[in-house]
Each structure stands twice: as structure tokens, then as C-alpha cells.
Structure 1
Amino acid sequence: MSRERVAAIVPAYNEEANIACVLQVLCDVPEIDQIIVVNDGSLDRTGAVAAGFPKVLVIDQTENQGKGAALKVGAESADADILLFLDADLIGLTVSHVQQLIEPVLDGETEATVGIFDGGRTSTDWAQALAPFLSGQRVLRRTLLTGVDHIDASRYGVELQLHRQLKRMGKVPKEVILKDVSQVMKEEKLGLAKGFAARMRMYWEIIREIPRI
């Protein structure tokens, strides 16, 4: 009996320096049947770097539309019943981490998982300990996306939208500890001032989704 197909979806905006490490890990995971990068209007070589991996399907968006829209495009393009969402700027990700996220859904133990950083960096560990539902590392069955409200307009608020959807359906995602995994901070990518401004925009996009939970 053949197993269900799994598609990995990686939304990316100006991640030329970081995305290759994530994609190399995904290419080495035997349970993953399809890898999709949604290049969300990047101004750098993100799309070209992703296209350098033969297993990766790159979807180029001419303008930046936000993380929610990128995930929606990726999900609609995926040929799989199980979807893996991963950020493009992860540090320390391994094949084992990805398998730990996928296997509980593949095995029928749960319909969704969410990855929680632990032991990577204090800043990212604390953020996810306080609000694990904001993690961008998750696996879920495609059927759980049915009826998600305005996901394409939610930008960084997409994690709250997914949390709301699962809560509405009575589904509790299994938390999977991603030991020694973290991600590149915005201040590291953009410099202190621009990175802080980008972080504040991200927080605002998340906060404005809270009333809809």
C-alpha cells in the first residue's frame, strides 16, 4: 500500500543567503515528494538559488504579497494531501527534524504538528515558548485548510489564521521539539534599524489578526 504524498512549501522573500541550507535538507528527506518555493517578489537571487535545486519547483511572484499569500499559492500548487510549511531562514535544521514533523501525520497519529525551537537561540526559544502557535514550522492535512478566512491577506498573521482554523475544527496540533533549531533574526539580515522596523511590521500584521481568533 502506497503512502500519502507530502509536499514541502517554503515561502521566501530576500532569502538568498539562507534558503539553500533549508532546501538541501528537504531534498534529502525521502518522505517528501514535492518541494515548492514561493519566491515572494524577492529583490535578490532567492529565486535563482532555489532554481539551482533540480527537485525544487519555484513559483515567482512579481510583487511581494506577504507570507499568507505565498503559503496559499504554494498549497494550491501542491500535489499532495499532506503539507509541510517551513521558513526559509532556519538554522540547524536536519533531516531528522523534518521527519519528526511529518511522521505523526503520515502515521495517522494526528492531523497536524507544529515545530517548537529548543536549544538553538535564547531569543527564538523564548518567543516560541510564549506563543508556540506562531511557529512557521508545521505539517497539516490539506483538508484542514478548507474555509480558512482571507489567508492571502493575512501576511505574517497567517500563523494565527491557521491556529484559529484548527481551533474551530477542534484539532490540536502535536507539538514537536526541534532541538537546536533557530532562525536568522531580521536585525541580522537587514541591520539594526531596518531589521527592527521590519520586526515591528511583522508584529503589527500578527496583532491585527488577534480579534479574528
Structure 2
Amino acid sequence: MFQNTTVLIPAYNEENRIHKVLEIVTKLPFKRIIVINDGSLDNTYHEAIKFPIEVLTHKTNLGKGAALQNGIDFVQHSPYWVFLDADLINLSTSHIEKLLSPLEEDSETAMAVGMFTEGGKLHVDLAQRFFGILNGQRSFSQSFIESLPSITWARFGVEIFLSKYADHQGVKVHYPVLEGLTHWTKEEKFGLVKGFSYRLQMYRECLSSLKNWHHYI
């Protein structure tokens, strides 16, 4: 399974966090591991290249959707795909195995969406429980990736589009629980004021995707 899987990790200003994710991901024999350095202004690139992976770099920040799309376009074909955030806390190889197992066990499964429901940060867990459509930890079949229209436009709304598109296509989706996994909040990463500003930007982009996703299929 792992030898047939490509991992895409979009990253923007994650120099202090991305190594924790890459330390775990590089323990598994994946086909390819690609970090998309999305116009970071810090040392994200230099932290990423310390690991045996591939790094794509955007000169400016294009958004999460564009980062993932460029990763897809760069690889083009992989039997399985995993999308992971660069700011995860407590990631383990078992979490990744849980993301991939629905695809391995059922060939009709097109996507698995990891759920944070217990063992992490309470406010993050609650948000994921009620708005799991936002979770960025996902696995996909090649057929689903091939069917996707471009997600370059989606920015932070990319997960909403992926879920809405899967529902529109009527494909099978699983929701494995990733116990203990969580991530850094915007405020923890960038400070209260700047972090809250990023959070508002994220909400705006998510709402735009929720409102307009059907125009992009």
C-alpha cells in the first residue's frame, strides 16, 4: 500500500512544525513524499529539505488549493494519495495507516477523511466533530483524483470542495477516527492578532467555497 502512495503536504510558514510531520511520514516506504512550499517567508524550505523528500516551491503564496493542485500535476499518477497538513501534533504512522486502510479494504472507496474526535485539543476536536468537512487529513483513490476538476481556486476552502464534489459524484467516503491527533491553531502559530486575522481569512475562503463550489465542477 505505502509503496503505491504519494503524500502531498502543503506548507506555508511552518519552519517550527513541519519537521515533526516529516519525521513520521518518512518512516513509511511511500512512493513519493512531496512538500509544496507555498511562498513561505521563513525557513520552511530549509527544514523540509533535511528529509529524503521532494519539495516544490511557489515564489508567492497561492493558497492551499493551488499547492495541492500543483502537487497533483507534478506527480500525475499514483494508485493512492494522502494529503496531510504541515502543522499536525502527535501524528503517528498508525494515523496514516488508518487513513489508507479504507481504500485498501474496499476498492469502491474514493476518499477517507480523518476525524479528530478525542485525545487532542478540546476546541479543535469539537470543531472537527461538527465541521469534519474542514479536515485536511485525507486519502484518495487515483480514480477520484483523475476525476477532480482543478482545485487551484479553492485556497482554504479546498476541503469543503473535495467533500462537496465527492457527495456530488456519489462516491463512497469513509471517516476513520484519528485518536490523539490535532494541530496548531492560527493564534498559537502567529500570535493572537495576526493569527485571528488568518482565521478570518480562512473562514471567508471556506464560506466562499461552500457558496460557490458547484460553479467549479
- Residue 169 of structure 2 corresponds to 169
Unaligned runs of 5+ in 1: none
Which of 55, 71, 85 matches 1:87? 85
SS of equivalent residue, structure 1 residue 44: coil
1:147-166 pair list within 5 angstroms:
147-166=147-166
| Structure 1 counterpart of 2:195, one-letter code | G
Rounded Cα–Cα distance in structure 2 between residues aligned with 1:154 and 1:48 = 27
Q: Give the structure-1-normalised TM-score.
A: 0.93
Unaligned runs of 5+ in 2: none
1:137-152 pair list within 5 angstroms:
137-152=137-152
1:8-157 pair list within 5 angstroms:
8-30=7-29, 32-54=30-52, 56-78=53-75, 79-108=77-106, 110-118=109-117, 119-157=119-157
SS of equivalent residue, structure 1 residue 38: strand
- Residue 196 of structure 1 corresponds to 196
Are the equivalent residues in 2 in contact too, given 1:7–1:82 (CA < 8 A)? yes
Tell me which moved more, 111-120 or 38-47.
111-120
| Structure 2 counterpart of 1:160, one-letter code | I
| Structure 2 counterpart of 1:192, one-letter code | L
Are the equivalent residues in 2 in contact too, given 1:6–1:83 (CA < 8 A)? yes
Give how far 1:150 is off: 4.5
How many residue pairs are counted as aligned between the two chains?
A: 210
Are the equivalent residues in 2 in contact too, given 1:135–1:159 (CA < 8 A)? yes
Runs (4 or more) in structure 1 with deviation over 6 Å come to: none
Could you say what the CA RMSD is over the residues aligned between the two structures, in angstroms? Answer: 1.6
Are the equivalent residues in 2 in contact too, given 1:75–1:83 (CA < 8 A)? no
| Structure 2 counterpart of 1:168, one-letter code | H
